Structure 1
Amino acid sequence: MSELIRVQDLRVVACGERDEVDIVKGVSFSLQKGEVLALIGESGSGKTTIALALLGYARRGCRLAGGVVQIGEHDMLALSESQLQTLRGNRVSYIAQSAAAAFNPAKKLIDQVVEGALIHDLGSRAVLEAKAIELFHDLALPDPERIGQRYPHQVSGGQLQRVMAAMALISDPLLVVLDEPTTALDVTTQIDVLRAFKRVVRERGATAVYVSHDLAVVAQMADQIVVLNGGEIFEHSATAPLLKGPAHEYTRSLLAAARPDTTIRPPSDIAQDTPLLTIQGLTAGYGNKNAQGMPAIRVLEDIDLTVRRGQAIGVIGESGSGKSTLARVVAGLLVPALGGLTFDGEPLGGSLSSRTNEQFRRIQMVFQNADTALNPMHSISTILSRPLKMYFGLKGAALRERIGELLDLVRLPRTMADRRPNELSGGQKQRVNLARALAAKPDLILCDEVTSALDTVVGAAILELLRDLRQQLGVSYLFISHDISTVRALCDDIVVMYSGHKVQAGTRQAYAEAPFHPYTDLLIHSVPELRQGWLETCGATTCQTLPPMGPKTNVPGLCTFLSRCPVRVDGLCNCVAPERRIIVGGSEILCHHDSAELLKTQQSNNLTVAAYA
């Protein structure tokens, strides 16, 4: 079989003021028709740069300096810009990481899906719209006949990502480039999107290059894997042998980061019995309030939570479960409608204006995206100096020395103090983000998805840093994530939230084996395993084919997980509100089922302690 895609000795350089620096250094690989090749590596390894070169494109400040990129009969590096424009979105298509940033919010989805094909004159609007609807069916989008009439903000992130796939596939391209298409999605949505992508790629015989830093995701999609580091290929192999026995030490480090070390435990001697933060009966939301003071959109309902001094509590759940809203309430960025907060035995006001400067100092927040959290116009020194001046009045030599100490704490060289955020890697920026919070010498740090935007190696390093800082400083964490494996690597206790309700709470050990709340079971089984074929076998534990429960599912007070629960009982779950109960292992759950009933269904999923410990 002849090669459909051939990359030979590809070189890409970054153009400086005086000289050029190689950022892709003689990369070569090939694909047969219908194959999927994965490009993996840490941030800065050259994955996306190579993927964009397949479209004959280099980002600003870079240049395609040499080599061959052959797509079918087209040598992409030898074509003019006008010739490349006839191929992009036609013979070569691209699926970006963030569909939300790629779509025009003012245009309907169907118009954007067919737009490129119309520009390339691949058919009439009627024919192309019919083809788009067929793709919507294949990609398992809801209401495929009418979803195209919606605007981007009217569909979920996972649905929008699949609409982008339809846009890329509508031209029947020779090559589809998928650039981290599931990185920004929560674990349950990721399964749906991966399953849809894989089915369509296989059924349509598409040839694809999949860019990712997540080996567990790549294992579900790729026939072969290219491991990159510093713009060079360190290893190139078929997927199965690479996962079983990687040849290069760097590949082994990626595998180790993808398989969390089950021997690591959070420090056991840090947490004290003294409550630091107490939340009682918390209800909060957004929108106009009614006469009773309740917001139009309730995001949190009746939340009780206690964080002890030196304790790390993980809060997990899908997007929209209320995790970040909980952090915003604790930070004073959202006033609760009901309930109260106390901090170190004193009332904690719901609004910023009702809090003391000392309460401001003692509660700090580290945001998910360091790119938007750090001012790009300021140096790292200026960013870190602000809380030091505001809370402690430091200046001069004392200020410079404390900035150096903070950089030491987060394991950054002191020479970085004079750099700006755009001169740092993603992991380095997140360390600065953390150092700014530590500058206030807080007692509680709210960590909102601080590793979700990072590759697995950098994310693991940030988790290790957080664990060491907790041991060193005795700080408490409220750690928000959608990944239970990440939370279990850092936290003492774990709270599972769904649709604004606390559906399970217990120690990390309680999440090692069944029984769980049915939603917790779904989350655990949604974390990709590092083996081929997992995607095909995980369907038994997800909620893809549940029958409708009838008209009573929206009755206030009923279980919010009702419509997705695989163990719901008609006549009970859709009629009576669940109560909180303690199950085997010590967790508290919000469910009608007891331990024995949950064990019967969940042990059949072959859940093992080793997989999630």
Structure 2
Amino acid sequence: MNEIVKVQGLRVAARNDFGVEVPIVHGADFSLNKGEVLALIGESGSGKTTIALALMGYARAGCRITGGSVHIKDVDVLQLSDRQLTQVRGRTVSYIAQSAAAAFNPAKSIMDQVVESALIHGTLSYQQAKVKAIQLFRELALPDPENIGARYPHQVSGGQLQRLMAAMALITDPDLVILDEPTTALDVTTQIDVLRAFKKVVRERGTTAVYVSHDLAVVAQMADRIVVLRNGEIQENSRTDQLLQAPAHPYTRSLLAAMKPEERETAGVTAIEDDVLLEVHGLELWFGNKKALKDIDLKVKRGATVGVIGESGSGKTTLARAIAGLVEPTVGQILLDGQPLSRSLTGRTREQFRRVQYVFQNADTALNPRHSIEEILARPLTFYHGMKGAKRRQRVAELLELVQLPASLASRRPGELSGGQKQRINLARALAAEPDLILCDEVTSALDTVVGAAILDLLADLRRELNVSYLFISHDISTVKSICDEVVVMYDGAKVEQGARSTFQAEPFHPYTHLLIDSVPEMYQGWLEETQAGRAELPLIGSSLSSPDLCPFLSRCPIRIDRKCNRVPPPRVRLAKGNEILCHHNDLGLQNICVSAQKVVC
């Protein structure tokens, strides 16, 4: 095979606050052959994106490539001038970013942006580039490939936009494509479609690629070889099958272990059956003509953790915000210890604010970058408890210890902390109020696997120590099952399934829950080809009644029934194992369908 990429002794340094350059990549060596996919994997700060960007001769602000060589074919890109690099980027090497939404220009049509690099590099005329773009749209399984290019970025879904960015990267037939966490921000049901499209195009076109990720299960589906990084150093460089079956380095083994969520111990937790802390009754919320929450009933017992799972747009965050008073429900009731909570913030007391705290998904935007950690934690201590002076400083130190951070961090600002540390501060700020209920909104979704596992361990520890209750929101059903006593599955604003954690270990499930479970990548090669998630043939049905009360999953359900599912609102059915589902099928119906029809949801 022909060697396309050869990296030798690559070193990168970053300038700290004192103007001193600190090495962050320490002599990386690896190579790629034509048509090979190499994965760079590791925790946040391991250097994987820094190395990937160096393949284009690029270093982020505050960083500098200090040594080594990066050969793409016969050219060392680190020796090229800025002018020469502009001829390489987008032509010889192309880049697919993590956030397509941030990468696209909202004021230009999709087609104009996809063909732009071909026009800049003069590889195709506009008409030729347009024809090739449509071909790529078709290969990437995009809907309406002939016309989707006329739309603007905000008019397509996140998964479609990510595939459109792949078309943009491939339009010039580059020698190397860099995929930088391209599915990290996507739901599992969307991720599986994007992975299938990426893999199909990469294999059929013989593309040489570098795939950056922190998810070993994902790269197991995409990569021929995996390079494991930690603190800017290569720990292991092995074939994918070899690394998954017999990892050579202890750090690789720790990454593999973190990919398998285990149930967190709940010993010492005093959740009492009849001690209900939070109750939600008949909650509905409209955004204009869109019904965002549909008749939601929910209970959270004192000292318990209830998980809310669903893809983007399912209503899970809207539910949490409604409980917190950040959005006002149209109808319904929220009770805290049996006492009504006002639907809006203006009607709530300071004591009610204190008892229900919110931990936001993105600590970067939740924490004031100009305030020190001590100032951030001191504010709720003063607001809720009137603390000042030495007593407040002592409590700040205690809070840092509670979230397993050193007291020395108190003088730092958020920008000086890692992602995991910032999320711990985000949690400590909520704990400063001494709440009864914490609403955790996707608190691990932006973190790598190892750091996310540590946050889950911390939440479990705090629950044991403080007997605090959680409403834990996530799009990862494996995470939810590892930490929650009860699981609520939401789809399009409706609660489609609810049950104890133990009941989510075996079928039958609501068809949407089946899809969520089957869409979670497993850590072996070939899973992507084997799984039937999202491949079901949908039964033909007639026209549907125009009613918001019909099954929300109707358009995607592989077991829908004509003249019932499209005509009659589904009832809430109690399955034998205890789960409640919103469906026309019962235990026997689901099992008969699984056995006789061999539907892929089973």
**1:413 counterpart (388, 406, 410):** 406
Paired residues of 1:179 and 1:210 also in contact (CA < 8 A): yes
Is 1:245 the counterpart of 2:246 in the alignment? yes
The answer to whether structure 1 residue 583 and structure 2 residue 575 are counterparts is yes
Instruction: Tell me if the contact between 1:4 and 1:72 (Cα under 8 Å) persists in the aligned partners.
Output: yes
| Structure 2 match to 1:482 | 475
CA separation of 1:235 and 1:602: change in aligned 2, threshold 3 A: farther
What is the alpha-carbon distance in structure 2 between the residues aligned to residue 269 and residue 64 of structure 1? 51
The yes-or-no answer on 1:338 pairing with 2:331 is yes
**Cα drift, residue 268 of structure 1:** 7.2
Runs of 4+ with >4 A deviation? 601-608
- Kindly report which structure 2 residues correspond to 1:171-250, keeping only aligned pairs within 5 A, or say none: 171-250=172-251
Aligned to 2:541: 549
* Equivalent of 2:310 in 297, 310, 317: 317
- Flag the 1:545–1:74 CA change in 2: closer, same or farther, 3 A: farther
**Equivalent pair of 1:376/1:420 in contact (CA under 8 Å):** yes
| CA pair 427-145 structure 1, distance change in 2 beyond 3 A | same
Tell me the distance in 1 between the aligned counterparts of 2:588 and 2:46: 49
Partners of 2:549 and 2:201 in 1: CA distance: 40
> Structure 2: any 5+ residue segments left out of the alignment?
none
Aligned to 1:290: none
Distance in 2 (alpha carbons) for counterparts of 1:217 and 1:519: 21
Q: Partners in 1 of 2:545 and 2:79 — Cα distance? A: 60
2:446 to 438, 443, 453: 453
Match of 2:382 in 1: 389
Shift in CA distance, 415/302, structure 1 to aligned 2, threshold 3 Å? same
Residues 80, 161 of structure 1: alpha-carbon distance in 2 compared, 3 angstrom cutoff: same
Q: Decide whether the 8 Å contact of 1:364 with 1:437 is kept in 2.
A: yes
- Provide, for residues 231-279 of structure 1, a one-character-per-residue CA deviation record: whole Å limited to 9, x for no partner: 00000100001000101100000000011235x4444742122111111
Note the C-alpha offset of 1:543: 4.3
Q: What count of residue pairs does the alignment treat as equivalent?
A: 598
2:533/2:600 contact within 8 Å kept: no
Matched, 1:8 2:41: no
Residue 602 (structure 1) shift: 4.6
**CA distance in structure 1 between the aligned counterparts of 2:19 and 2:280, rounded to whole angstroms:** 58
**Aligned mates of 1:586, 1:561 — CA distance in 2:** 21
Q: What does 1:282-361 align with in structure 2 at a 5 Å threshold? A: 282-287=283-288, 296-361=289-354
1:132–1:383 distance in 2 versus 1, CA, 3 Å: same
Counterpart contact for 1:492–1:508, Cα < 8 Å: yes
Tell me which of 499, 508, 533 is aligned to 1:506.
499
Q: CA deviation at 1:550?
A: 3.7
Residues 541 and 563, structure 2, Cα contact 8 Å, conserved in 1: no
CA 1:105–1:545 in structure 2 vs 1: closer, same or farther (change >3 Å)? farther
AA of the residue aligned to 1:170: I
Q: Which amino acid aligns with 1:576?
A: V
Whether 1:437 aligns to 2:414 is: no
* 2:580 counterpart letter in structure 1: E
2: CA distance between counterparts of 1:217 and 1:67? 30
Choose which of 556, 561, 580 in structure 2 pairs with 1:569. Answer: 561
1:57 aligns with 58
Does residue 471 (structure 1) correspond to residue 483 (structure 2)? The answer is: no
SS in 2 for 1:394: coil
Distance 1:417 1:481 in 2: 29
1:208, 1:236 → 2: CA distance? Answer: 16
Paired amino acid for 1:121? G
Counterpart-to-counterpart distance in 2, 1:96 and 1:602: 40
Aligned-partner Cα distance in 1 for 2:26–2:523: 29
Distance (whole Å) between structure 2 residues aligned to residue 230 and residue 411 of structure 1: 21
CA distance in 1, matches of 2:430, 2:546: 41
What SS does the aligned partner of 2:70 have?
strand
Distance 2:448 2:154 in 1: 27
Give 1:569 shift: 1.5
- The normalised TM-score by structure 1 is 0.96
Q: Any idea what SS the aligned residue of 2:200 has? A: helix
| Partner SS state of residue 505, structure 1 | strand
Structure 2: how far apart are the matches of 1:19 and 1:274?
A: 56
Distance 2:548 2:292 in 1: 14
What is aligned with 1:293?
A: none
| Correspondence 1:112-131 to 2 at 5 A | 112-131=113-132
Whole-angstrom distance in 2 between the partners of 1:554 and 1:139: 33
Q: Contact 1:215/1:530 (CA < 8 Å) preserved in 2?
A: yes
SS at match of 1:301: strand
Contact between 1:99 and 1:160, CA under 8 Å: does it hold in 2?
yes
Give, as a single letter, the amino acid of the residue that structure 1 aligns with 2:147: R
1:555 CA drift (Å): 3.6
Counterpart in the other structure of 2:93: 92
SS at match of 1:552: coil
SS of residue matched to 1:551: coil
1:387-427: CA deviation from partner (whole Å, max 9, x where unpaired): 00111111110010000000001000000000011100000
Tell me how far apart the structure 2 counterparts of residues 317 and 210 of structure 1 sit (CA, whole Å).
27
Equivalent residue number for residue 38 of structure 1 = 39
Q: Which amino acid aligns with 2:53?
A: L
Contact 1:11 1:65 in 2 (8 A): yes
Q: Conserved in 2, the CA contact under 8 Å of 1:13 and 1:24?
A: yes
**Farther-moved stretch of structure 1 (148-157 vs 265-274):** 265-274
CA distance in 2: counterparts of 1:607 and 1:320, whole angstroms: 22
Residue 552 (structure 1) shift: 1.2
Contact 1:541-1:605 within 8 A present in 2 as well? no
Aligned to 2:361: 368
Residues 40-94 of structure 1: per-residue CA shift (max 9 Å, x gap): 0000000000000001000111111111101122211000011000110111000
Distance, in Å, in 1 between the alignment partners of 2:317 and 2:192 is 22
SS of 1:38's equivalent?
strand
- Mapped contact 1:374–1:433 kept (Cα < 8 A): yes
The 2-side partners of 1:414 and 1:15 are apart by 25
Identity fraction in percent: 65
**2:140 corresponds to 1:134:** no
C-alpha distance in 2 between matches for 1:461 and 1:521: 28
| 2:584 corresponds to 1:592 | yes
Between 1:198-207 and 1:8-17, the stretch displaced more is 8-17
1:18 is displaced (CA, Å) by: 4.8
> Taking structure 1 as reference, are residues 547 and 202 closer, same or farther at Cα in structure 2, changes over 3 Å only?
farther
Q: In the TM superposition, what is the alpha-carbon distance from 1:605 to its structure 2 partner? A: 7.8
After superposition, the C-alpha distances for 1:23-49 in whole angstroms (9 at most, x for unaligned) are 100100011100000000000000000
Return closer, same or farther for 1:103/1:547 CA change in 2, 3 Å cut-off.
farther
AA aligned to 2:3 is E
- 8 Å Cα contact 2:40/2:212 also seen in 1: yes
Distance 1:78 1:251, change over 3 A: same
| Amino acid across the alignment from 2:567 | C
C-alpha displacement of 1:15: 2.7
Q: CA RMSD in A?
A: 1.5
Deviations 1:577-605 (A, max 9, x none): 11111112100001111112223445768
Assess if the C-alpha contact under 8 Å between 2:541 and 2:561 holds in 1. no
Seen in structure 2, the aligned counterparts of structure 1 residues 201 and 300 have a Cα distance that, compared at 3 Å, is: same
Q: How far apart in 2 are the matches of 1:535 and 1:30?
A: 26
Q: Which runs of 5+ in 1 are unaligned?
A: 288-295, 609-613
Query: 1:140 aligns to what SS in structure 2?
Result: coil
Instruction: Judge conservation of contact 1:318–1:482 (CA < 8 Å) in 2.
Output: yes
Secondary structure in 1 matching 2:544: helix
Shift of 1:573: 1.4
Contact 1:368 1:452 in 2 (8 A): yes
